[in-house]
Structure 1
Amino acid sequence: MPRLVLIDGSSYLFRAFHALPPLTNADGEPTGALFGVVNMLRATLKEAPDYATFVVDASGPTFRNELYPAYKANRPPMPDELRAQVEPMCRIVEALGFTILRVPGVEADDVIGTLALQGAADGIDITISTGDKDFAQLVRVPASGSGRVELVNTMTGSRMDSDEAVMAKFGVRAAQIVDMLALMGDSVDNIPGVPKCGPKTAAKWLAEYGTLDGVIANAGAIKGKIGENLREALPQLPLSRQLATIRTDVALEVAPTGLHLRPRDVDSLRELYARYGFNQALKELDGNGVAGVVEKEPGTARGSGRYTAPVVQDEAPPDPALSAPGEYEAILTRSQLDEWLAKLRAAGEFALDTETDSLDPMRANLVGLSIAVETGRAAYLPLAHDYPGAPAQLDRAAVLAALRPLLEDPAVRKLGQHGKYDLHVLRRHGIDVLGYADDTMLESFVLNSGQRHDMDSLAQRLLGYETIRYEAVAGKGSKQIPFSHVAIDDATRYAAEDADITLRLHRVLAPKLAAEPALERVYRGIEMPLVPVLERIEANGVMVDAEELRRQTADLSRRMLAAQQKATELAGRTFNLDSPKQLCALLFEELKLPALVKTPKGQPSTNEEALEAIADQHELPRVILHYRGLAKLRSTYTEKLPEMVNPHTGRVHTSYHQAGAATGRLASSDPNLQNIPIRTEDGRRIRKAFVAPEGRRLVACDYSQIELRIMAHLSEDDGLLRAFAAGADIHRATAAEVFGRTLEEVTSNERRAAKAINFGLMYGMSAFGLARNLGIGRGEAQDYIATYFSRYPGVRDYMERTRQQAREQGFVETVFGRRLYLDFIHKGNQAQRAGAERAAINAPMQGTAADIIKRAMVDIDGWLAGQGGAALMILQVHDELVFEVDAGFVDTLLREVPARMAAAAELRVPLVVDSGTGMNWDEAH
């Protein structure tokens, strides 16, 4: 049967504009939306339809505006960047051979609706290419002699071709879609509906009463507030239905069979593709590419016109094969399992994902496991689904025994998405996974750390694929069920998709890394080897002294009470120190203190910055800050840590996040050990509660001034290089240079000022910031900075060189080649641009420090593996590693670990490591 493709051009233009990054061509013309639409059209042409047309909205009002003048009144005007792409889009569409249809007085939806029903009646299968849910009202299965009407979302690969498919998506039949839309209303199009009536409520009413007219007739029987809302909305519901109905009777000058594709205008296409930088399309046009295969195009960030965009920053709808729905099966018999085991062994590489009953990997029990060896096909192994009526499943112990040879074979490559979690789960079930070779989260992170790296976002961005969300199969909120209660058919769709999408993502990301050798070295040499190391550190955990924490909680509580009493005395009345509203009234209305910091809504702020700004004008803000500091320590650490002790291990297990910070630094959570405020005595006391078991000690090894040493290496400043080579106190040496003293003459205040300058300049601190930090005048601070740069001219040159590199390339690099892309480096907003420049200066130092300690951790982990458990690496905090060590092994570790840490990078200055030991973490400093 012939097929007609009706392309909803208006919908795709807007969706591509918002879905794709802000690309421009070499001349600075915006191309992002244009790029998305063109790739969609190329994919359509690859399918070779018999007829096709590109339908867009005509300018001017439509009949809906006459019915309801407020129709679409809420829509903002088209952005200038998008408007600029409409005309070139139309030129390319016509050059590709499509007829463009726009009919005054109606919308593109009505033109498409009319052609769809006309064509279906003439025996033509209709594909409506759109992402607009309203078109579901047109879905038709073929009757005798007529054609099918189906919806295809080219951006996600989803297809809707039957009443069952519409019901699965929306909970109503295709014939009920208009009534559903009328009940829900539409805030975007400004269609009035029933307030607070969402899709579930609308579907429930229509299931009970059949049609909108049925709902209206029974409005008096619907109870509660939603019933009141319905009855108040009754007068406008017929209008809402009329506005939501797609017309199918528009007078058109062309019939469906008149919409043949014309021959391509190759010369025009070549000119347009070249102008807008669509290189793959250009290759395809000239016979050097594969027709219809959609690949990444080069581009530039909007507004710059100066540098090649980041590798992952200019994604396009991919090869349709990677966007299509997958085929998944549940493995319920031993013969199925054996067949899949043979596939896994023969492939030598497979994607893996686990399903469990907990987000905490140290407590999670395995419910099922999914595997994939080829894109588009995957399987789910249910192992512990225990809902009433669940089918018989293979024995978990037997399955794991069958999988063990593969999972523990380093020659068989395993792929995952955030696979560290899966390694934990399998280790808890007795399997030590070897050969974990690729992680799509980390591939994405290394390519561009500024992107989102969760599977849902990656699938949308790289594959144009909308994944099944966990809530869709397990529910959400108080009604969420454990995964073991999810029906196996639903669990298979969700879980097998995870393995399949992981494999698809790897097929897209791996070539991108291979095209960037420096980034691939970061990925292969630093990030991937670190995954099992972090898994072991997390599994090792650390002991905490719960009794010591309880004592600290009691002491903090007493001091918080004293601070409350002091605050009450200063205020002359009682008030709630935890209430921003009461604080605002007291500080700014009663005490008349200046509101120097405002909230985004322009109200006086009472955050830490705001209170610090007025702490010199009244004693009360300082007391409130003191109270808050105590409260935070109590709630975050002394009260919480004892509750976080794992009942099976008796230890606290933090989680480390490799993709947590754009610079590459590790982040930690549950608990977050990076933020213990060690500059205060109370913060340092927290570390006393991290203890060694009997017969063991804690050893802390910390890089000394590593970022300053990296600054010396990068800047090649002679003064800094000499100071570090001589082993001098760098802050004292800086003070001697800035203040014209000998090292012996430098005072403690001068050293403090020099320290502020050294670290402040690394973070882009201005004279104003330095003045506030040191409590001196801005002019004096500016003189300090000027003197510093005169003594260390290499630092000044490095900073300017780095800013220039950032402006030209759009990114900066660490010593090892890790990149940080700077999206705001060309922004017109001065504050955003200045922030990007500060990041450009600091990121190479902070990122290199992160790379160095990661390299050290991998090396040390390999050495510890041969020590028979005499020492465990248990914590990484910023530039520090903490070990739990047999008392008799401490000396060996103190010889070996600092040397390995110092050898983790070859810089122009030596890396120095400070070490200490004790019964608790505080003593080890």
Structure 2
Amino acid sequence: MKRLVLIDGSSYLYRAFHALPPLTNADGEPTGALFGVVNMLRATLKENPDYIAFVVDAPGRTFRDDLDPEYKANRPPMPDDLRPQVQPMCDIVHALGIDIIRIDGVEADDVIGTLAVQAADAGIDVTISTSDKDFAQLVRSPRDGDGAARGGIALVNTMSGSRLDSDEAVLDRHGVRADQIVDYLALMGDKVDNIPGVDKCGPKTAAKWLAEHGTLDGVIANADRITGKIGENLRAALHRLPLNRTLTTIKLDVDVGRSPTELVLREQHVEDLRGLYARYGFKQALRELGGEPGDGPRDAATDAGSVRNTAAGYARNNTAATEAPDPALSAPGEYECVDTRDKLDAWIARLQGAEEFAFDTETDSLDAMRANLVGLSFAVETGRACYIPLGHDYPGAPAQLDRAEVLEALRPLLTDPARRKIGQHGKYEMHVMRRHGVPIRGYADDTMLQSFVLNATATRHDMDSLALRYLGYATTKYTDIAGKGAKQITFNQVAVDDAVNYGAEDADITLRLHRVLSARLAEEPALEKVYREIEMPLVPVLERIEANGVLVDADELRKQSADLGKRMLEAQQKATELAGRSFNLDSPKQVCALLFEELKLPALVKTPKGQPSANEEALEAIADQHELPRIILDYRSLAKLRGTYTDKLPQMINPDTGRLHTSYHQAGAATGRLASSDPNLQNIPIRTVDGRHIRTAFVAPPGRRIVACDYSQIELRIMAHLSGDEGLLRAFAAGADIHKATAAEVFGKTLDTVGGDDRRAAKAINFGLMYGMSAFGLAKQLGVSRGDAQDYIGLYFARYPGVREFMDRTREQARERGYVETVFGRRLYLDNIHARNQGLRAGAERAAINAPMQGTAADIIKRAMIGIHHWLADHAGRALMILQVHDELVFEVDAGFVDTLLEEVVARMVGAAQLRVPLLVESGVGDNWDEAH
């Protein structure tokens, strides 16, 4: 069956513009969106479609504007950097021999829809290349009927690789059938197109209504039967829904002026393409034409380095621009299945001859501490990689090499510290390989961390996101080969052929990313130093901490769960007595109805949509006006502790080790702070008795003790260092209680007359200003008037003028550079520092003040962990580093080794940075974490 590809040109252009970094050629012309479009077009043409068209919107009004003057009225103008890329895009499309279609009075969607249905009815398979969900209404499977074949209509998102080609696929993605998509869109509305739907009707509600009533007409007919606020919203929107349906329906009868079979690919204008590719620096595309950079009329531009990166966050004059990746890095790779010993030996020879190689594992679980190895992949050159299947065990799976034999053959390479290994989030691979008896040594580079250090906020740092951003490459997604949801299979059940393409691609893309990201890091010496001296050395440290795990007393947690459950029941009973009726304390809707409608308490905190809130802040705001809000808060606190910790943690104990193993994330917080998950052990409350009580279940085994070492007031000390304020420096040098000293300065008292309330107020000021707190926020926290809070802030800055100067200087530097730095050179880019929206801009300015403190504190404890890890290596078995929680390190130590450990650990923590003020470390020892803290 022949195939027609219809390209949604606007979707291509905007998707590429937002997905890729802002690039320019040597002449400063923007090329980022153009680069993405060209790569997608090249990929599409390599599939050799029989017919193809590139459809774009015509300028001017359409019939929808006549139906609704507000249609698309709130769409922002095309970005300034995108507008000059439109004509070059059309020039390249035309030179490629692809017809460009634009029809006055309708949208590109209507032209595509008309051609798609005409072609499918004529027995042609249709692929619509788009990211627009509206096209889902056209999806249909091919079938035979009335003696004639009918083609299918499928949607393919070229950027993500996702595909919708059947009712089942549409239902899986959107929760409704293809023939219900128009009604689905009509109910939800579309903010982008300024189509108001039913207020608060999201995808789940729209899908639910259509499942119950079949069509929009059915929903309208049964509107009186739909209860609650959402029912009221539906009835209020009934007059609008028929128009919505018309606006969201794609026309299928546009006079296009040509038939689908006329849309054949014309002969390419090679010389025009060569000139365009040379001008815009598309090297790989130029090579495919048989030319090299410099062959075209703009050889000076290509010789100069062609495309240059101007990613957000660099200085406004772009003095730090760096060369973008070669488009060759976005080309498909060649991948080999290693299923014989001869092939394995050949690849081992390649690995032995390489200075560095990328590697990746495939397993049957995301839990590195329990995952079984299913396959290995390697790459020594970009575009070429292999996959070694080892554990695919589905019925009919082909023969595979023996896992033990393969691992033994690879052992000399993988355990050789002189062989540089490259990975993407390689800590996972290190766990898997260690557990399979082959510890990885020589782990030299990690693309996730390279990206994170370059710009923590530019993108997510998973492989799919990095490949799209830095290579313009859409990777194969796990769901593409393993399915989704309840039907998703584990990797050992994935067909070997699919596994080869997926697994080998991982190694290949890792190597490609490393080529690009290492070059960019080399141009930023301060960032490369952060990467080389902090982030990469930390990887084996965290791997060791995670593998060590922590011993947890499951019986103690179960006792605490029982106690929490009893107190929750008591709180429920008390709440029922106060309310005069039963209600669900876990339901915000029922709580709001009781507090604000029945009891008439003031709704002092609202949701973003203006409705009364029942969150913690809202209940705290009225807790002094009635006893019930406090009871609800207490109940929720108990429920959270029980659900998050006392019930859950015993279930997460590893049956093989008998210990709890968390996972630490280096590329989580933009400031560089480590995050913890599965379980998150960094958020156990410390300020409440119940929260602290949970730590009693983190215990030492017989003959051992728990030791905790915690930096004291480290961020305030960093503030003193960065600001150079003489008053703060003097107070810390003298070893004074900084909050008490601040209280004396601000309130004009002597140290011996500062009371507890004065100290608490000063502490709020110290930390509040560091986190950008306003006078309003400080007043709320202290329970004073806004005027008094403003006076406190004024007095603080009068006593500590260096702090104000530092804040002003930092904000100005952030505006000039687009980023701020830690003491060690880590950067935090502030994308909203020039935002027109005052709230976004203020948030970026607060981050500019706080990030250097938080980031420097993160860097300091990481440096300390690296030093301690190396020292502990010489004392294997006597002590383990088992937890990192914010500014605290926790150890499990032989009872007779505690004094030695304390001396050595404290010395390394104190020596992790040389600041203008001394670092102070507080420590404790106990049989459990709570005793030691």
1:537 aligns with 545
2:433 is aligned with 1:449: no
Once the two structures are TM-superposed, the CA of residue 794 in structure 1 deviates from its matched residue by 0.4
Which of 331, 338, 342 aligns to 1:331? It is: 338
Once the two structures are TM-superposed, the CA of residue 889 in structure 1 deviates from its matched residue by 0.6
Residue type at the aligned position of 1:58: A
2:380 is aligned with 1:340: no
2:386 aligns with 379
Task: State the alpha-carbon separation in 1 of the partners of residues 418 and 382 from structure 2.
Answer: 21
Which of 556, 564, 574 aligns to 1:566? It is: 574
Residue type at the aligned position of 2:666: Q
Q: Secondary structure at the match of 1:328?
A: strand
Residue type at the aligned position of 2:178: M
Once the two structures are TM-superposed, the CA of residue 107 in structure 1 deviates from its matched residue by 7.4
1:119 aligns with none
- Tell me if the contact between 1:300 and 1:309 (Cα under 8 Å) persists in the aligned partners: no
Which stretch of structure 1 is more off in the superposition, 393-402 or 568-577? 568-577
Once the two structures are TM-superposed, the CA of residue 822 in structure 1 deviates from its matched residue by 0.9
For each residue in 1:320-375, what CA deviation from the matched residue of structure 2 results, as whole angstroms up to 9, or x when unmatched? 32112221122111111111111111113111111111111111111111111111
Q: Secondary structure at the match of 1:922?
A: helix
For each residue in 1:704-761, what CA deviation from the matched residue of structure 2 results, as whole angstroms up to 9, or x when unmatched? 1100100000000001111111111111111111122222221111111111111111
Residue type at the aligned position of 2:417: P
Q: 1:375 and 1:112, CA in 2 relative to 1: closer, same or farther beyond 3 A?
A: farther
2:16 is aligned with 1:16: yes
Which of 599, 603, 625 aligns to 2:607? It is: 599
Task: State the alpha-carbon separation in 2 of the partners of residues 255 and 346 from structure 1.
Answer: 45
2:532 is aligned with 1:524: yes
Once the two structures are TM-superposed, the CA of residue 505 in structure 1 deviates from its matched residue by 1.2
Once the two structures are TM-superposed, the CA of residue 20 in structure 1 deviates from its matched residue by 3.6
- Tell me if the contact between 2:21 and 2:310 (Cα under 8 Å) persists in the aligned partners: no
1:81 aligns with 78
1:637 aligns with 645
Stretches of structure 1 lacking an aligned partner (at least 5 in a row): 117-126, 140-150, 159-165, 173-181, 193-223, 271-280
- Tell me if the contact between 1:311 and 1:447 (Cα under 8 Å) persists in the aligned partners: no
Which of 401, 414, 420 aligns to 1:413? It is: 420
Residue type at the aligned position of 1:16: A
Which of 431, 434, 444 aligns to 2:441? It is: 434
Residue type at the aligned position of 1:360: D
2:306 is aligned with 1:298: no
Once the two structures are TM-superposed, the CA of residue 247 in structure 1 deviates from its matched residue by 6.4
Q: Secondary structure at the match of 2:386?
A: strand
Task: State the alpha-carbon separation in 2 of the partners of residues 615 and 803 from structure 1.
Answer: 37
1:813 aligns with 821
2:771 is aligned with 1:763: yes
Task: State the alpha-carbon separation in 2 of the partners of residues 669 and 131 from structure 1.
Answer: 33
Aligned length: 826
Q: Secondary structure at the match of 1:81?
A: coil
Q: Secondary structure at the match of 2:470?
A: helix
Task: State the alpha-carbon separation in 1 of the partners of residues 35 and 643 from structure 2.
Answer: 54
Residue type at the aligned position of 2:358: A
Residue type at the aligned position of 2:637: G
Q: Secondary structure at the match of 1:698?
A: strand
2:724 is aligned with 1:716: yes
Q: 1:781 and 1:70, CA in 2 relative to 1: closer, same or farther beyond 3 A?
A: closer
Q: Secondary structure at the match of 1:677?
A: coil
- Tell me if the contact between 1:732 and 1:751 (Cα under 8 Å) persists in the aligned partners: yes
Task: State the alpha-carbon separation in 1 of the partners of residues 635 and 522 from structure 2.
Answer: 53
Task: State the alpha-carbon separation in 1 of the partners of residues 591 and 40 from structure 2.
Answer: 60
2:178 aligns with 184
2:847 aligns with 839
Q: Secondary structure at the match of 2:874?
A: coil
Task: State the alpha-carbon separation in 2 of the partners of residues 230 and 774 from structure 1.
Answer: 53
Residue type at the aligned position of 2:516: V
Which stretch of structure 1 is more off in the superposition, 580-589 or 543-552? 543-552
1:857 aligns with 865
Once the two structures are TM-superposed, the CA of residue 602 in structure 1 deviates from its matched residue by 2.3
- Tell me if the contact between 1:676 and 1:683 (Cα under 8 Å) persists in the aligned partners: yes
1:278 aligns with none
Q: 1:348 and 1:154, CA in 2 relative to 1: closer, same or farther beyond 3 A?
A: farther
Once the two structures are TM-superposed, the CA of residue 783 in structure 1 deviates from its matched residue by 1.3
Q: Secondary structure at the match of 1:898?
A: helix
2:636 is aligned with 1:628: yes
For each residue in 1:164-217, what CA deviation from the matched residue of structure 2 results, as whole angstroms up to 9, or x when unmatched? xx9x98479xxxxxxxxx99369699999xxxxxxxxxxxxxxxxxxxxxxxxx
Q: 1:528 and 1:851, CA in 2 relative to 1: closer, same or farther beyond 3 A?
A: same
Q: 1:463 and 1:621, CA in 2 relative to 1: closer, same or farther beyond 3 A?
A: same
- Tell me if the contact between 2:882 and 2:890 (Cα under 8 Å) persists in the aligned partners: yes
Task: State the alpha-carbon separation in 2 of the partners of residues 428 and 763 from structure 1.
Answer: 43
Once the two structures are TM-superposed, the CA of residue 573 in structure 1 deviates from its matched residue by 2.0
Q: 1:726 and 1:586, CA in 2 relative to 1: closer, same or farther beyond 3 A?
A: same
Task: State the alpha-carbon separation in 2 of the partners of residues 253 and 528 from structure 1.
Answer: 53
Residue type at the aligned position of 1:405: P
For each residue in 1:602-660, what CA deviation from the matched residue of structure 2 results, as whole angstroms up to 9, or x when unmatched? 22110111111111211211111111111111111111111111111111111111111
Stretches of structure 2 lacking an aligned partner (at least 5 in a row): 47-51, 117-126, 143-153, 168-175, 187-209, 219-244, 281-292
Q: 1:690 and 1:54, CA in 2 relative to 1: closer, same or farther beyond 3 A?
A: closer
- Tell me if the contact between 1:111 and 1:248 (Cα under 8 Å) persists in the aligned partners: no
Q: Secondary structure at the match of 1:923?
A: helix
Q: Secondary structure at the match of 1:627?
A: helix
Q: 1:83 and 1:806, CA in 2 relative to 1: closer, same or farther beyond 3 A?
A: closer
- Tell me if the contact between 2:361 and 2:373 (Cα under 8 Å) persists in the aligned partners: yes
Q: Secondary structure at the match of 1:352?
A: strand
TM-score normalized by structure 1?
A: 0.80
2:49 aligns with none
2:518 is aligned with 1:510: yes
Q: Secondary structure at the match of 2:299?
A: coil
Task: State the alpha-carbon separation in 1 of the partners of residues 256 and 139 from structure 2.
Answer: 10
- Tell me if the contact between 2:382 and 2:511 (Cα under 8 Å) persists in the aligned partners: yes
Which of 788, 793, 817 aligns to 2:796? It is: 788
- Tell me if the contact between 1:24 and 1:300 (Cα under 8 Å) persists in the aligned partners: no
2:913 is aligned with 1:905: yes
RMSD between aligned residues: 4.6
Once the two structures are TM-superposed, the CA of residue 775 in structure 1 deviates from its matched residue by 1.5
Which of 353, 357, 361 aligns to 2:364? It is: 357
Q: 1:366 and 1:528, CA in 2 relative to 1: closer, same or farther beyond 3 A?
A: same
1:391 aligns with 398
Task: State the alpha-carbon separation in 1 of the partners of residues 693 and 131 from structure 2.
Answer: 57
Task: State the alpha-carbon separation in 1 of the partners of residues 264 and 345 from structure 2.
Answer: 58
- Tell me if the contact between 1:417 and 1:440 (Cα under 8 Å) persists in the aligned partners: yes
Task: State the alpha-carbon separation in 1 of the partners of residues 112 and 252 from structure 2.
Answer: 17
- Tell me if the contact between 2:879 and 2:892 (Cα under 8 Å) persists in the aligned partners: yes
Once the two structures are TM-superposed, the CA of residue 18 in structure 1 deviates from its matched residue by 3.5
Task: State the alpha-carbon separation in 1 of the partners of residues 40 and 725 from structure 2.
Answer: 55
1:871 aligns with 879
Task: State the alpha-carbon separation in 2 of the partners of residues 261 and 286 from structure 1.
Answer: 12
1:636-785 equivalences under 5 Å are: 636-785=644-793
Task: State the alpha-carbon separation in 2 of the partners of residues 543 and 398 from structure 1.
Answer: 35
1:614-625 equivalences under 5 Å are: 614-625=622-633
Which of 381, 390, 400 aligns to 2:407? It is: 400
Once the two structures are TM-superposed, the CA of residue 17 in structure 1 deviates from its matched residue by 3.3
TM-score normalized by structure 2?
A: 0.79
Residue type at the aligned position of 1:658: Q
